[in-house]
Amino acid sequence: MRKKVSIVGAGNVGGSVAQRLAETGVTDIVLADVFDGYAQGKALDLAQAGPVVGYDCAITGATLPADYHLTADSDVVVFTSGAPRKPGMSRDDLLATNQKIVVDNVSQIVRHSPQCVLVMVNNPLDAMAHLAFKTAGFPKARVVGQAGILDTARFRTFLAKELHVSVRDVNAYVLGGHGDDMVPLVSYTTVGGVPVSRLIAPERLAAIVDRTRKGGQEIVDLLKTGSAYQAPAAATTQMVLSILLDQKRLLPCSTYLEGEYGITDLFVGVPCKLGAAGVEQVIEIDLAPDERDALHRTASSVRSLVHKLGL
């Protein structure tokens, strides 16, 4: 029986996730949105690209909430629905707007796909993942947030450009909350196996870390009428494939911590093993004292948002 992925929110991120997944050919896809005809139009367009590109999966459009039954028995549900950032807005500014959207939709997701793994993508990411977890009542392994892969990809991109090397030779981790106090782990960053601190001067490296933290805002400011979607979609697709194919990739994801890294009852980005069961293991790595302090600071920022949600 073919796998099934439903994507709630057919905007730029959701539509791009659908395209990337369709091109793998490993799963059928339901693309869903509240705007009548919007998801159906995108789904039909993607289906008609199949004969050219060479994929042969079923792609279905759905209008929510009436068509939630079309998402039934999904293996993975990707949640991208929510208000996008505009210039001058932080991710945290979206808290109240997206709270109701998450609660209403997650309740429907649980009803129709009670065994799914729920991948959260909307902002503020860690707080929304926490809200979805509490709303769904799922085991903690089956709710996970996409952030660290995207933040790490930005860090790797900036480092590769600085050194004029392939991004494939840059290995790094960005942990913590998906916000301006995220934690790029310089001590774990290497280029072709060489510690990055030996290749880039401290002040220049600090500037790249700062640009990484503000990477999403940089794109929002440039676009003026939207936010990033290609890189977020690519990062989300990597997570979905690791779950669907039980690849057990070690990826930085926002997951519910119960004492790991000294953090309890909170979604924070840390290295995770992603497989068919969702987050199958949280990987604890040794952090430099300043990095551990920074991780706890970003956790405090996430906790303040969670408290504003009343959780």
Query: What's the Cα-to-Cα distance from 123 to each of 59, 184, 213, 277, rounded to whole Å?
Result: 26, 19, 15, 24
Range 191-210 average pLDDT: 98
The helix (run of H) or strand (run of E) holding residue 63 is strand 59-63
For the segment 153-179, what is each residue's pLDDT rounded down to a tens digit? Answer: 999 999 999 999 999 999 999 999 998
Confidence class for position 95, pLDDT limits 50, 70, 90:
confident
Query: What's the Cα-to-Cα distance from 145 to each of 53, 55, 191, 285, 295, rounded to whole Å?
Result: 30, 28, 27, 20, 17
Q: Tokens representing 240?
A: 């979905």
Q: Is the dihedral of CA 196, 200, 201, 204 positive or negative?
A: negative
3-state DSSP helix/strand/coil % of the chain, to nearest 5: 50, 20, 30
Does the structure show a pLDDT above 70 at 89? no
Does the structure show a pLDDT above 90 at 1? no
pTM confidence score: 0.95
Q: Is 178 a catalytic residue?
A: yes
Catalytic residue among 112, 164, 178, 307: 178
Say which DSSP state 14 is in: H
Does the structure show a pLDDT above 80 at 87? no
Q: Minimal CA–CA distance to 232: which of 249, 213, 245, 215? A: 215
Q: Is 42 in a helix, a strand, or coil?
A: helix
Does the structure show a pLDDT above 80 at 90? no
What integer pLDDT is reported at residue 85 of this predicted model? 66
Bridge-partner residues for 119, per DSSP? 78, 144
Query: What's the Cα-to-Cα distance from 298 to each of 8, 176, 205, 276, rounded to whole Å?
Result: 28, 6, 20, 29
Does the structure show a pLDDT above 90 at 12? yes
For the segment 97-140, what is each residue's pLDDT rounded down to a tens digit? Answer: 899 999 999 999 999 999 999 999 998 999 999 999 999 999 99
Does the structure show a pLDDT above 90 at 86? no
Domains defined for the chain, CATH in brackets? 3-145 (3.40.50.720), 148-308 (3.90.110.10)
Range 55-70 average pLDDT: 97
Confidence class for position 215, pLDDT limits 50, 70, 90:
very high
Region of residue 86 (phi > 0: left; psi between -120 and 50: alpha; otherwise: beta): beta
What integer pLDDT is reported at residue 167 of this predicted model? 98
Query: What's the Cα-to-Cα distance from 257 to each of 126, 268, 283, rounded to whole Å?
Result: 12, 7, 11
42, 55 Cβ separation under 8 angstroms: no
Amino acid letter, 247: Q
For the segment 216-237, what is each residue's pLDDT rounded down to a tens digit? Answer: 999 999 999 889 999 999 999 9
